[in-house]
Amino acid sequence: MDGRGATRDSARMIIQPYRLYIERKDATKNMARFYSLEIGSNLYGEICLTRRWGRIGARGQTAAHQFSREEDAVGLFLDLARRKLRRAYRPRTRARPEKQTT
């Protein structure tokens, strides 16, 4: 195996995992939406940005974008995240467990 193959394979490896899950809720509008982004590799080893969105509790829809460079995927990831944050999407808030009194 020549050295060029190893370089090409390592160039497509994800250096850092990128994941985001945000929600938008508005009880007055009966709105409960989620949006998630994840950068990873697909079955062919290509850099892939996967988007999922829909109503909380439902499967939602999925879209995938393939890239030859991780930097391009990260650029789209950040652009989409900024857009959703401007539209009032926020990280999921977890309810704190209530303390039991004895």
Tens-digit pLDDT profile for residues 45-92: 889 999 999 999 999 999 999 999 999 999 999 999 999 999 999 998
pLDDT at residue 7, as a whole number: 37
pTM of the complete model = 0.74
- List of long-range contacts for 44-47, beta carbons under 8 Å, 24+ apart: 45/9, 45/12, 46/12, 47/12, 47/14, 47/72, 47/73
CATH of the domain spanning 9-89, picked from 2.20.140.10, 2.40.30.110, 1.20.1560.10, 3.40.50.1400: 2.20.140.10
Residue ranges per structural domain of the chain: 9-89
